[in-house]
Amino acid sequence: MRYRFTRAARGDLKRIANYWKKRASAETAHRLIAGIFETIVMLATQPRCGARRDDRGPEIRVFPSKRFLIYYVPHRSGIQIVHIFDGSQDQSAAWRSEP
């Protein structure tokens, strides 16, 4: 199974990495991003395991990865990552402020 990212999700990953590089270290940022990718690989093999979030859009699902929430859409060939937000964020506000 495969995974791909929307432009917004790639931006989310960059923001997460930059935030943690400044707040902690490059090693911490790398460890967090690696954990997100581990979850994404698992989701690509089991795309229906996330909770449905039809309020966010058709077929959107969400699954936690430590402190982050991964929003994605399952497809026949894998998943498309729509957004990745810190779980402590107001999720509705994060969706509204998407670029």
User: 63: which 2 tokens?
Assistant: 């699954």
- How many domains does the chain divide into? 1
What is the domain-level CATH number for residue 67? 3.30.2310.20
User: What domain range is 79 assigned to?
Assistant: 2-96
The residues, ordered by sequence, that sit 6+ positions from 70 with a Cβ below 8 Å of its Cβ are: 36, 39, 40, 43, 50, 62, 63, 64, 81, 83, 84
pLDDT tens per residue, range 13-69: 999 999 999 999 999 999 999 999 999 999 999 999 999 998 888 899 999 999 999
The tokens of 57 are what?
């859009």
In this prediction, residue 98 carries a pLDDT of: 60
User: Measured between alpha carbons, how far is residue 26 from residues 30, 33, 35 in Å?
Assistant: 6, 11, 14
